[in-house]
Amino acid sequence: MIISLLNRPYKKILLDRFVTQDEEEVKLITEPSAVKAGLAKHYENQFRKRSTKLDEMSEKWKEIYKPRTWINESWYKQLEDKIGKEEWEEILRDLKDNMAPGISGISYTLIKHAGEKTQKIFRAFANLILGKGEMPKKWKVAQIYSIPKDVEWGYSLNNIRPIALIKTFRKVVTKILTKRLARIFMEKEILKGPNYASLPDNSTEQPIHILNMIMEEAQEKNKEV
């Protein structure tokens, strides 16, 4: 109803068929097993391991990617510290209630409103994971949900993009590690120069604005020539 009132089109993709095309013909694949195999192959190719080809880079880029010797590995030891009650509650307060829960059906809301004893069990489990340095196998399983791009998808897999619905508890633990990493990066000035945008209270707005001004200035100079 809200979508109708706002005059926004509702797009839903049912992946029971897709189109393949080569130089000679266009085929519509509808057989269930063939559809399943085709989807798996498409996403496998889309998320394949990228070849960086570091050996073929120029000396300038090789220098940029070279490990920095001034970074002390001991700075990262605090990543394995036990999660205290205050840190856990701070992360829970930052969680958004309207996020999709994934396969388990456990949402952020359920985690946030669990009782004190349950939260203690949650922290103990999270600390066990940090202590062992191993992620549960089931956390590596995600639900892929396809959404259309701005164009009509027309049964072409190239016109959709997948989003992965990850288990919410995994995301809570990941958020803790991410926040700890960000604090280390800022305190030790590990990320600096053009690499600061992902840190708290920073954004890509300023470098994009600068880049846009450089492009506009170059265009104006070309017009003068």
Domain extent listing, the chain: 2-49+73-190
| Higher pLDDT, residue 44 or 6 | 44
Average pLDDT over residues 18-42: 87
Model pLDDT, residue 55? 81
> Token match 């880079």: residue?
57
> How many alpha carbons fall within 13 Å on the CB side of residue 4?
1
Average predicted confidence (pLDDT) for the chain = 84
Does the pLDDT at position 4 exceed 90?
no
Which of 42-56, 128-142, 158-172 has the least mean pLDDT?
42-56
| Cβ neighbours of 119 (radius 10 Å) | 17
Question: How many angstroms from the chain centroid is the CA of residue 96?
Answer: 16
Contacts of 207 (CB under 8 A, 6+ apart): 194, 197
Give the C-alpha distances (Å, rounded to integers) separating 55 from 51, 63, 64, 124. Answer: 11, 12, 13, 45
Contact 112, 92 (CB under 8 A): yes
Does the pLDDT at position 9 exceed 70?
no
Measuring CA to CA, which residue among 153, 175, 172 is closest to residue 162?
153
| Higher pLDDT, residue 11 or 9 | 11
Model pLDDT, residue 206? 75
Tokens coding 30: 């509808």
Overall pTM > 0.75: no
Which of 8-12, 144-148, 175-179 has the least mean pLDDT?
8-12
Average pLDDT over residues 95-122: 87
Report d(CA 27, CA 171) in Å as an integer. 40
Which of 26-30, 71-75, 204-208 has the least mean pLDDT?
204-208
Model pLDDT, residue 11? 65
Tokens coding 172: 């809570």
Model pLDDT, residue 92? 92
Predicted confidence band at 156 (pLDDT cuts at 50, 70, 90)?
confident
